[in-house]
Amino acid sequence: MLVVDDSRVQRKILSSQLARAGYRVLEAGSAEEAITVVTRDAPDLVISDWMMNGMTGLDLCRRVRELGLDQYVYFILLTSKTETAEIAHGLDMGADDFLIKPVSGDELRARIAAGERILRIERELTEKNRLLSATLGELQGLYDSIDRDLMEARKLQQSLVRERSRNFGSAEVNLLLRPSGHVGGDLVGFFPINARRVGFFAIDVSGHGITSALMTARLAGYLSGNSPEQNLALVLTEFGIYDARPPEELAETLNRVVLKEMETENYFTLAYADIDLVSGKVAMVQAGHPHPAVIRRDGTVDYLGSGGMPIGLIDFASYDRIETRLEPGDRLFLMSDGITEAADANDVQLGEEGLTRLIARCEGLRGAAFLEALHWHLNDYTGGNFADDVSGVYFEFDGAKSNAD
């Protein structure tokens, strides 16, 4: 500790008392000299006379506080002042304690012991804050690394949907895929079955984040248009050409594969449609996914299906076939529950009635423009707060290629 007093006799009295108590004591004969000592040696505690020639003890206290030292210095002023206002002013300037002259040895040791307790607490807090700052720095580094990885994972997941739009001459399909986070559990896509038929699918894996995203990557391989030999929707006929499984059989096949091979607690919902581009005939399956919407040419919207069980929950689940027919000008929309269950500021979900209203607002728009407008209206409805991924398959049927049926 440091004793500061312009009286050599007073310094020696205090220093001797403290040395006998086991403290290592430094001395300074002026406030100016004390500043040099504090800067060089950073004592834990300073005991300074208030009234000194030149800079006062109170000025010294203020200067010590302005130094911005790494550790706290406990400051005790020795004074003959007893006025409450003077002492309050000293506290405002940064002093921690006061001793009234003449100083009692017992009181001095008691005040120093109190200061040591405060310094010990301060040192412990400083160390804990240092450890916390270091830990937060490490966590921030890990977060930044994970964030970079997730950004790359988002690019990879988006690349699973290699083709967002295709015109078939008599029809057109456009895909919407907007994860609520870096990565999501939704997947949409299409693949050719043969010269006149196309398969479309919309998938929503339970949960969010990395696990769900990894499962979508696996499912993308099961429904790949680039590898028909691996596509579970396709079967090779005796004539050496591919045909499609009935939609309900595809759902059952996926259910068996997920339960047997994936060994995961995740499940997924599915809407799958097998569409004839010539006749407009549609065969579908709904496995826990929102009801497929057929938007008729006159603007009316029909929601098809009865729900069905999600895939990957129950062994030997069975699924129902849905059939309909699209007339020229009709559209088919397979959407995720991120659309129908989107909620406004009052937590009111959009639902099918709300979706029908949004579809009506997009009247006259086609293809990607329709999906962008729908997403914009949905963003307006939710206030931009999407709790779930938003995805959809939008198929527009303009009429048969030929007279075949």
Quick one: what percent of the chain has pLDDT higher than 70? Answer: 95
Q: In this structure, are strands 321-325 and 281-287 parallel, antiparallel, or unpaired?
A: antiparallel
Taking alpha carbons only, the member of 172, 206, 202 closest to residue 189 is 202
Region 230-237: what's the mean pLDDT? 89
Helices and strands counted in the chain (H then E): 10, 18
Radius of gyration of the chain (CA): 39
Report the pLDDT value the prediction gives residue 300, as an integer from 0 to 100: 95
Report the pLDDT value the prediction gives residue 203, as an integer from 0 to 100: 93
Report the amino acid identity of residue 298: D
383: left (phi over 0), alpha (psi -120 to 50) or beta: left
Q: So where are the chain's domains?
A: 2-127, 160-397
Region 84-89: what's the mean pLDDT? 76
Q: How many other CB atoms are found less than 10 A from the CB of residue 82?
A: 9
d(CA 382, CA 342): 7
d(CA 299, CA 356): 9
Report the pLDDT value the prediction gives residue 403, as an integer from 0 to 100: 45
Report the pLDDT value the prediction gives residue 34, as an integer from 0 to 100: 92
Run of H or E including 129: helix 105-159
d(CA 75, CA 112): 10
Long-range Cβ contacts of 356-359 (<8 Å, 24+ apart): 356/301, 359/293, 359/295, 359/301, 359/333
pLDDT band at 158 (very low <50, low <70, confident <90, very high): low
Report the pLDDT value the prediction gives residue 301, as an integer from 0 to 100: 96
Given a cut of 50, is residue 385 above it in pLDDT?
A: yes
**At CA 213, angle to CA 207 and CA 218, rounded to 5?**
115
Q: Which of 52-56, 59-63, 399-403 has the lowest mean pLDDT?
A: 399-403
Region 193-202: what's the mean pLDDT? 93
Report the amino acid identity of residue 197: R
Q: What share of the chain is helix, strand, coil (3-state, %, to 5)?
A: 40, 25, 35
- Overall pTM surpassing 0.85 (yes/no): no
Within its chain, how far is the Cα of 366 from the centroid? 34
Burial environment of residue 13 by CB neighbours within 10 A (0 to 12, 13 to 18, 19 or more): middle
d(CA 230, CA 270): 18
For 2-127, CATH number?
A: 3.40.50.2300
Q: How many other CB atoms are found less than 10 A from the CB of residue 384?
A: 8
Burial environment of residue 368 by CB neighbours within 10 A (0 to 12, 13 to 18, 19 or more): middle
Report the pLDDT value the prediction gives residue 247, as an integer from 0 to 100: 97
**Which residue has 């002026």 as its token pair?**
30
Given a cut of 90, is residue 162 above it in pLDDT?
A: no
Q: How many other CB atoms are found less than 10 A from the CB of residue 375?
A: 17
Given a cut of 50, is residue 321 above it in pLDDT?
A: yes
The residue ranges of DSSP E strands in 80-230, in sequence order, are 97-100, 165-167, 171-178, 186-192, 197-205
Report the amino acid identity of residue 146: I
346: left (phi over 0), alpha (psi -120 to 50) or beta: alpha
Region 339-366: what's the mean pLDDT? 94
Region 42-55: what's the mean pLDDT? 88
Chosen CATH of 160-397 out of 3.65.10.10, 3.40.50.300, 3.60.40.10, 3.40.50.2000: 3.60.40.10
Report the amino acid identity of residue 211: T
Region 52-77: what's the mean pLDDT? 87
